[in-house]
Every structure is written in structure tokens, then in C-alpha cells.
Amino acid sequence: MYSSEKLTSEEGWQHTSIALKPNSFDSSYKDIIINEENSTPMRVVGEFICIIEE
């Protein structure tokens, strides 16, 4: 799950903050907050493997 805060201007909008929330009741998992101050050293790395069909 995620939530975000946005800033709207005449040119459009941009995220000012994104919160990635764990889908767990385990309190040891914390939200990951991405904002302008900490986003520079981050990068998203992922690999799509397949779709799991039911």
C-alpha cells in the first residue's frame, strides 16, 4: 500500500512525499517515507518474473 502528498501548479503536479506501507500486522515493519530530502540516493531495482494465476 502507498499514500502520497502532491503539489499542484500551473505546469502540473509532482509528488512531495510518498509513503510505502507494509501489508503486515508485524510492528517491526515500518513505513518507508520517500521525500525530496532522501530520494536522491535511492533507486528502484526490480525484475518482473511472471504473473501468478489462480
Residue 8's pLDDT is 96
Q: Is the overall model pTM greater than 0.75, yes or no?
A: no
Residue 20's pLDDT is 93
Cβ neighbours of residue 30 closer than 8 Å, sequence gap 6 or more? 22
* Domain span holding position 46: 1-54
Residue 17 CA to residue 4 CA, distance in Å, equals 6
Three cell numbers at 45? 531495482
- Could you give the count of Cα atoms lying within 13 Å of 6 in the half-sphere of its Cβ? 6
Residue 31's pLDDT is 94
Number of domains in the chain: 1
Residue 30's pLDDT is 95
**pLDDT digits over 2-54, tens only?**
899 999 999 999 999 999 999 999 999 999 999 989 888 878 789 999 999 98
- 13: β partners: 8
